[in-house]
Structure 1
Amino acid sequence: MDIVVITAVIASLFLVIGAAEPLAARLRLPYSVILAVLGVLIGVGAIFFLRTELTDALNPVAEAILGLPIRSNVFLYVFLPTLLFQATLGMNLRRMLDDWVPILVLAVVAVIVATLSVGYALSWASALPLVACLLIGSIVSTTDPSAVVSIFRSISAPRRLARIIEGESLLNDAAAIALFGLFMGFVMLGVPDPSLHDALAQFPLLIVGGAVTGWLAARIGVWVMALVARYELAQLSISVALPYLAFILAEQSVGASGVIAVVAAGLTLNITGPGRLPPQAWTSLRELWDLLAHWAGALIFIIAALLIPRLLGDVQLEDFALIAVVILAAVAARAAILFGLLPLLTALRLSPAVERPYRVAILWGGLRGAVTLALALAVTESFRVPVEVKRLVGILATGFTLFTLMVQGTTLRMVIGWLGLDRLSPIDQALSRQVVAVALQTVREDVARTTENYELTHEIIRSEAKRFGERLEDVVRAAEDSEEILDRDRITLGLIALAGAERDTIIARVRERTISTRLAEQVLSDADRLIEATRSGGRSGYRRAARESVGYGRLFRLAVLLHNRFGLSAPLARMMADRFELLLSQRLILRDLGNFIDGRIRRIHGRRVGDLLHELLARRVETVETALEGLRLQYPGYAEELERRFIRRTALRLEEREYTAMREDGLIGSELHLALMQDIALRRAEADERPHLDLTLQRAELVQQFPLFSDLDERALRRLGKALRTRYADAGEVIIRKDSPAKSVFFIASGAVELENAGQTWRLGRGEMFGQMALLMKKTRRAEARAIAPSTLLVLDETRFRRLLRRSPMVQEAVRETAARRGIDPEALFRNASDAI
């Protein structure tokens, strides 16, 4: 085929891509549906002009369109890695982890259920062997990422709904393609009734092998990109190679899932990239992949749609009944998961609740697209598949895809509207009226000043002022009519605005390099969680999310377990250093929000709401300061190093700002400015290196600062530092339960603990100990100990505590004081525990 004609056809396809987006906006239809329709029209038009006798002038173009080298491996090896990799780079991983259970259920369980449902339904309704029916089920069971993601982004769906859909569409390809490979092998071998156990037994290898391959490829890629940190184009080139090499290695060398490998590589780069790559390089990388994914997503739809006339060429009347069977079986399987399994998991407290409107939207949003057509094309290309099987696979997969795109895709916006998911909540509606009223009042004042400055005609001023005043009166009247909502929810509205201002401040600080890019995603994720929690739970939701942002999460507890049980301290040291930096960043951000309350929120919501928000903000600042002070007491030298690093980075930012201002004022030339910027980049790379946190050394220093251990010599302190174990307790966590056996004593390094026994409570702070009374009396615990703030505890077992008690008069005196406070005779206590002295 002439290369000139092929180039012209491909260039024309890019013109179609450029015209499709404004056309979709004008027709209010999803972009993916418009691309599919245009692709079908182009394919039908090419067939028409090639077969018609009206003219032969367009025959070369028609032959070029129909003769494009479109094979299934083009979709799987060229387009699919691009779409998956870009989607993982744009994911908010921490927010998606909140819904990991429904995502995995939809991505894996739903695919298996849909495959079985479609397979057995077709086996009952047709003469095809069961294995061929299961093959068709695996082909139509996967939702297409390019179809689903683009549609849900275009209709402004709720964030959580979009996250669940995106997570499902990214991961279910791996399950569907794995099942497809298994059943395709059975069909080519002529196995009519495969063992489902044999088919599913290979799943763990496919998933684990793909995940490990993608993780290793990404780690190597990030390491190489960090070596060439000064060369942005080199980093972008390496990122382009990464998903394709991961896909090929997993598929061809390991025998695992290439889709999982690409997703794992993208997730790994998403997590590690911001901390290892320069901010500008990371931004350029994201922009590059956004463009590549836009082109790939558009081309995959158009080219896949070109295949539809070919795949439907031999359709017969009775085939439409089988298409209906596939549609009903697939929809029924998806409905069973959404309305049966997910509510059951929620009732068992294994999954967060997914609201019913969300489940309806997810049901109707299960669109199929190019991936389904590519798998069907792979079957039709095989010489080892029976002809009738190939024909039905092409027709049923294509018919089902057309149904999801043309019926579900075109009506999805309407369904979202019918469910009310595209409308503002009552709180947002009240906020919009209040904000518009304040904004219009400000605009009216500014317009009055502007007209005075320009000395405009008085008649024009009066007429426009009248129109503007009428609109302002309408808005004010609507706001007054909703006064009941505003009175009840004004605090919530103010907190939402405050959380939004916090997010904007974070973005500004990241751009200024005040906040490390390593932690930027986590801080932004915490801000997003704060906004959503406030929307759903009001003031209590805001407080809960604020506490969680400074608390110890599950990964932190896992790192502590690895440190205590297996001696693996690297994860805990990294997380502790992250916690230090995170708290420093939060303190910086929160202190900037007071002006926002005074300057913006008071004007909209009044003085009372402003004062309440100041109070809530002050409590957050106090909580962060307490947690930060606890870490500073626990790791004093490290806190100083981090604060010095912050000062150095701030100074570099100010220095960079000064040089930029001098260049804009013409005081220095571009050559000198470039040299100065390169020097700052080198010094910033040094300042961005975070100091290493040695947990063992820091614990030894902490033990030396404990007042209770001040009378021990240096050798005894070293032995004690090795014997003590570190335990981290979040606010509200129970440390000691009533009636539990007494096996250890706890020393509070930072934080606060509350003891409760027989209606009496005691609060202990840094430097104090608890748990020793029951241990010395050889009784079960009678008091319950609960952390009332994020706390760091040093734990000593019974044997070592008794040795310490023998050697330390300070510890003996502390035990006596505690016994006297609780009405226990100290001397009697020591006589009963005479083996300890």
Structure 2
Amino acid sequence: MPLSESILILMALLALAMIAAPLTRSLPIPFTVVLVGIGIALGWTSQFWEPLHQLQHFRLTPDLVLFIFLPTLIFESGYNLDARQLIKDIFPVLVLAVPALLLSTFLVGAGLHLVFDMPLSLALLFGALISATDPVAVISLFKELGAPLRLTVLVEGESLFNDATAIVVFNILLGMALVGGSMDGHTMLHAGYEFIYVFFGGALLGLICGLIVCEWMRLMRDNFSAILVLSVILAYVSFIFAEHYLHVSGVMAVVGASLCLGVYGVTRISHHAGELLRESWEVFAYICNALLFLLVGLSVDLHNLATHLPYIAVAIVLVLLSRLPAVYLMLPATLRRFHLPAVRSGDKHIMWWGGLKGGLAIAIVLSLPEDLAARQLLLDMTLGVVIFTLLINAPSIKPLMNKLGMNALNANEKVELEQGVLHAQKHALNVLQRMEKARFMSKVSLHQANSLIQDVMQPQHASISPARQLSHVRQIASRAEVEELEHLRDAGVVPQYLLLDIKSELRLEREATSGEVAGLNPVLKVEQKLLRWLRERDTMASWLSRYQALRISGLLRRTILRILMTDAANAHLKSRKDIDDDARNTVRNELKTRLNALHAQLTEVHENYPGFFSRFETRMGMLAALAGAGWQADDDHKHGEIGKKAYCRIQQLITEAESRIPEVKNTPLNPPAKDLIRMVPIFSRLSTQAAETLASQAAVVTFLPGDTVIEEGARGDALYIISHGEVMVSHRENTQDSAILANLRTGDFFGEMALLGDQVRKATVTAIQASTLLRLTRKEVLALASQYPEVQQHLKAAEEERAQTLE
């Protein structure tokens, strides 16, 4: 068939899908299911009607699914998946994706073997390819139905991750079926190694590709076309390179790449570019979904399905039964084991019934060798199960959700509805009042419109407890904070990475106030791990100093932004007259308390680092002003108030001004480093020249309140002298309790035993206040001792004194 005709037929299929899209809105059937039905009807009609004969050439092939449709659909899903919720539920997702799939493979295969005496290798082969829930079918359906967030993440996560397991098991069983091998210990060991390589190798490859492309995108700045092209390259290159060259899971590679872009990449591009990227990929996925499900229907041969109907019926029952242990036994056990919130019984029913099969299973079965015995039987069984899940399971999920009461409003949602109706009604009536003042509507029309609004948007006046009212007002305040944060982002004051970080903090605060156990901010987890890795490495001393300066700058910026956000939330609550007065006053008092704490935190940094603070606020103010100027120039150029030449000239002026803004540097130590060194007994009699030499080699490091400077049991060879601040020295008495040994302040020192060769820390030192320390390593002291004999003598005397003490 000529390429032009193929493209024309594809466009006709796509146009048919677009015609069906608005018609299905009034039907209780998902759009994707309608497309499968249309595809089946077209395929059957094409056998008898000559104008449609060309459709006989349009069938799903493994390469079409794996290398055209799947990268786009998996990438879009991974990019839009709530990564934070996925991380929280990663253990149940992995249990569903690996051991649950292996159990399902065995149950389906054993059932077919017992019922039809099918060769066990072929039965298990079918069990492997049909047990994986298809990510394309599940994701498209759950998006259409608007399923709850956690349910969506669990089912989408399972469907994304279990592909690797299914493909590895399928390939192993296919090899056994072809050569007649047995499932001995060596084979099992090889299968385990292959699974680890395929599953985690694909994820690692995707992560590496994602990181490279994310940094590449940063260089593109606001060139959205280039950013979009890079994302397409990332999706397809990661998949094809994984599958074709490294023979690892292409799906896991795309999942890793898309999650990396969704979590890290959005911090490297502008918010506007990120939103456009998300919308573009939704369009790509919509096109692929439409064509894929039409082609699934076209690939069905009704005559062959009727021939093998008994096999298909038994396979459907086995597939449904084999999913029961995973959802009702393994999932709850995993949640209890890792102390995660339980899944509601209604959600379990949806997870069981919603284990849809789709194009992926068809692509796997089509990859079977042509000369394999019972290939046609396996193909028809697969198509039968896929069609059943799409035509029976999928349309019945929404009624099942309604039957289980999953669409009913809970107490919090009733409060939201009550307040939302009041707010919407007020806004609608204000619009009508403005039209009346402008003499746009007659009195009769105005009266009719007012009556309609008051009749339709009538508050339910449901009984709402004070606790629910308080929770809702907190949500209103949180929303006002987010709006202020996004306003500051639009003005260029807030970088994208900081926006996401603060939004994560707000989510954790909401979870804490709602009673849900909130974990540590993932950014803070990474920060603490990085700090722990840097602090005792001599080669990293300068990096530690720079990193801590960045942390202080980040703390100041975050504190200032939170002050602005809290002020905005307070003002918003003050202006809202449609919420409960007691709840509003309570939340405003909470905001006032938080505001006082934030101002105290800002004052503490200002008092501890006055020079640093002054330079920081100057630099931040200048950058914010220039960012605002750039945003205004963009807006003027966009709306045609200034031309291209004037716009470019303004951008040059802004760039020139940015280059003249001074950097924020650490202030000199007070007292000077050489005087601090002489406060240590073993250095108290050093000559001025020796002290100055040692001071020039020492590193200045800063620790924020709560930071661990040294940790008991860790290895280290550095002495710390306190220039400013306060630290606490503690010692572990057992696995749970610690005893406070001392509080050290300016002029005190700790870690001196490391200079004498004992590199295992005997206590933990934690910063109580923001503290500036002078760091001296054993290597630096020994190097000085080779030049100054007096240092060697002091060290030898200290070692002898210590030896006598130990005796």
Find out whether 1:23 has 2:28 as its counterpart. no
Give the counterpart of 1:276 among 268, 287, 309: 268
Q: Number of aligned pairs?
A: 757
What is the DSSP-based 3-state SS (H/G/I as helix, E as strand, rest coil) of the residue aligned with 1:202? helix
Find out whether 1:653 has 2:627 as its counterpart. yes
Deviations 1:728-763 (A, max 9, x none): 7489x99999xxxxxx999797799799999x9999
- Summarize the alignment of residues 372-387 of structure 1 with structure 2, pairs less than 5 Å apart: 372-379=361-368, 382-386=369-373
Partners of 2:545 and 2:35 lie apart in 1 by 49
Partners of 2:153 and 2:670 lie apart in 1 by 43
Q: Which residue of 2 aligns with 1:240?
A: 232
Q: Which residue of 1 aligns with 2:484?
A: 505
Q: Which residue of 2 aligns with 1:679?
A: 652
- Summarize the alignment of residues 455-604 of structure 1 with structure 2, pairs less than 5 Å apart: 475=459, 478-479=460-461, 481-482=462-463, 485-534=464-513, 536-537=514-515, 548=520, 553-564=524-535, 577=550, 580-581=553-554, 584-585=557-558, 587-600=560-573, 602-604=576-578
Q: Is residue 481–residue 568 contact of structure 2 (8 Å, CA) maintained in 1?
A: no
Q: Which residue of 2 aligns with 1:163?
A: 153
- Sort the Cα spacing of 1:577 and 1:4 in 2 relative to 1 into closer, same or farther, 3 A: same
Amino acid at match of 1:610: R
- Sort the Cα spacing of 1:496 and 1:791 in 2 relative to 1 into closer, same or farther, 3 A: farther
Q: Which residue of 2 aligns with 1:620?
A: 594
Q: Is residue 42–residue 306 contact of structure 1 (8 Å, CA) maintained in 2?
A: yes
- Name the stretch that deviates more: 27-36 or 273-282: 273-282
Q: Which residue of 1 aligns with 2:391?
A: 406
- Summarize the alignment of residues 149-298 of structure 1 with structure 2, pairs less than 5 Å apart: 149-191=139-181, 193=183, 195-229=187-221, 231-298=223-290
Deviations 1:120-158 (A, max 9, x none): 222222322222222111111222222212222222222
Q: Is residue 43–residue 55 contact of structure 2 (8 Å, CA) maintained in 1?
A: yes
1:46 Cα deviation (Å)? 1.6
Q: Which residue of 1 aligns with 2:357?
A: 368
Partners of 1:720 and 1:42 lie apart in 2 by 80
The sequence identity of aligned pairs, in percent, is: 22
Q: Is residue 642–residue 690 contact of structure 1 (8 Å, CA) maintained in 2?
A: no
Give the counterpart of 2:68 among 78, 85, 92: 78
Using structure 2 for the length normalisation, give the TM-score.
0.79
Partners of 1:789 and 1:99 lie apart in 2 by 35
Amino acid at match of 1:423: A
Q: Is residue 36–residue 301 contact of structure 1 (8 Å, CA) maintained in 2?
A: yes
Find out whether 1:610 has 2:584 as its counterpart. yes
Find out whether 1:326 has 2:318 as its counterpart. yes
Find out whether 1:40 has 2:40 as its counterpart. yes
Amino acid at match of 1:261: A
Q: Which residue of 1 aligns with 2:14?
A: 14
Q: Is residue 626–residue 751 contact of structure 1 (8 Å, CA) maintained in 2?
A: no
Q: Which residue of 2 aligns with 1:436?
A: 421
- Name the stretch that deviates more: 79-88 or 670-679: 670-679
1:72 Cα deviation (Å)? 0.8
Q: Which residue of 1 aligns with 2:96?
A: 106
1:470 Cα deviation (Å)? 6.1
Q: Is residue 133–residue 357 contact of structure 2 (8 Å, CA) maintained in 1?
A: yes
- Sort the Cα spacing of 1:233 and 1:146 in 2 relative to 1 into closer, same or farther, 3 A: same
Q: Is residue 637–residue 647 contact of structure 2 (8 Å, CA) maintained in 1?
A: no
1:495 Cα deviation (Å)? 0.6
- Sort the Cα spacing of 1:156 and 1:13 in 2 relative to 1 into closer, same or farther, 3 A: same
What is the DSSP-based 3-state SS (H/G/I as helix, E as strand, rest coil) of the residue aligned with 1:102? helix
Q: Is residue 311–residue 395 contact of structure 1 (8 Å, CA) maintained in 2?
A: no
Q: Which residue of 1 aligns with 2:379?
A: 394
What is the DSSP-based 3-state SS (H/G/I as helix, E as strand, rest coil) of the residue aligned with 1:592? helix
Partners of 2:669 and 2:13 lie apart in 1 by 67
What is the DSSP-based 3-state SS (H/G/I as helix, E as strand, rest coil) of the residue aligned with 1:603? coil
Deviations 1:176-229 (A, max 9, x none): 222222222222333365644432331111123223322333334344444555
- Sort the Cα spacing of 1:643 and 1:31 in 2 relative to 1 into closer, same or farther, 3 A: farther
Partners of 2:108 and 2:172 lie apart in 1 by 16
Deviations 1:396-429 (A, max 9, x none): 2222222222222111112222333323221221
Q: Is residue 152–residue 162 contact of structure 1 (8 Å, CA) maintained in 2?
A: yes
- Sort the Cα spacing of 1:747 and 1:607 in 2 relative to 1 into closer, same or farther, 3 A: farther
Q: Is residue 703–residue 717 contact of structure 1 (8 Å, CA) maintained in 2?
A: no
Q: Is residue 76–residue 374 contact of structure 1 (8 Å, CA) maintained in 2?
A: yes
Amino acid at match of 2:33: V
Q: Is residue 727–residue 794 contact of structure 1 (8 Å, CA) maintained in 2?
A: no
Q: Is residue 703–residue 709 contact of structure 1 (8 Å, CA) maintained in 2?
A: no
- Name the stretch that deviates more: 208-217 or 11-20: 208-217
- Name the stretch that deviates more: 75-84 or 567-576: 567-576
Structure 2: which 5+ runs fail to align?
Answer: 685-690, 714-718, 752-762, 780-801
Partners of 1:671 and 1:294 lie apart in 2 by 36
Q: Is residue 121–residue 329 contact of structure 1 (8 Å, CA) maintained in 2?
A: no
Q: Which residue of 2 aligns with 1:123?
A: 113
Deviations 1:575-630 (A, max 9, x none): 98468436624531442343444444641334433332222223334555566667
Deviations 1:27-77 (A, max 9, x none): 132222222222222222223x2xxxxxxxx42x43321113642111111
Structure 1: which 5+ runs fail to align?
Answer: 50-57, 738-743, 773-783, 801-831
Partners of 1:495 and 1:99 lie apart in 2 by 26
- Sort the Cα spacing of 1:254 and 1:496 in 2 relative to 1 into closer, same or farther, 3 A: same
Q: Which residue of 1 aligns with 2:333?
A: 344
Amino acid at match of 2:533: L
Partners of 1:424 and 1:67 lie apart in 2 by 49
Deviations 1:484-517 (A, max 9, x none): x242322111111112222333333333332112
What is the DSSP-based 3-state SS (H/G/I as helix, E as strand, rest coil) of the residue aligned with 1:66? helix
Find out whether 1:92 has 2:51 as its counterpart. no
Amino acid at match of 1:23: L
Q: Is residue 164–residue 249 contact of structure 2 (8 Å, CA) maintained in 1?
A: yes
- Sort the Cα spacing of 1:170 and 1:303 in 2 relative to 1 into closer, same or farther, 3 A: same
- Summarize the alignment of residues 406-425 of structure 1 with structure 2, pairs less than 5 Å apart: 406-425=391-410
Partners of 2:125 and 2:605 lie apart in 1 by 57
- Name the stretch that deviates more: 600-609 or 110-119: 600-609
Q: Is residue 79–residue 262 contact of structure 2 (8 Å, CA) maintained in 1?
A: yes
- Name the stretch that deviates more: 443-452 or 339-348: 443-452
Q: Is residue 632–residue 639 contact of structure 1 (8 Å, CA) maintained in 2?
A: yes
Amino acid at match of 1:287: E
1:463 Cα deviation (Å)? 6.2
1:101 Cα deviation (Å)? 1.7
- Sort the Cα spacing of 1:746 and 1:486 in 2 relative to 1 into closer, same or farther, 3 A: farther
Using structure 1 for the length normalisation, give the TM-score.
0.76
Q: Is residue 215–residue 265 contact of structure 1 (8 Å, CA) maintained in 2?
A: yes
- Name the stretch that deviates more: 79-88 or 453-462: 453-462
Partners of 1:366 and 1:90 lie apart in 2 by 21
- Name the stretch that deviates more: 784-793 or 316-325: 784-793
- Sort the Cα spacing of 1:330 and 1:652 in 2 relative to 1 into closer, same or farther, 3 A: farther
Q: Is residue 322–residue 396 contact of structure 1 (8 Å, CA) maintained in 2?
A: no
Amino acid at match of 1:370: G
- Name the stretch that deviates more: 706-715 or 558-567: 706-715
Partners of 1:340 and 1:90 lie apart in 2 by 29
Q: Aligned Cα RMSD in Å? A: 4.9
Partners of 1:497 and 1:315 lie apart in 2 by 61
1:372 Cα deviation (Å)? 1.2
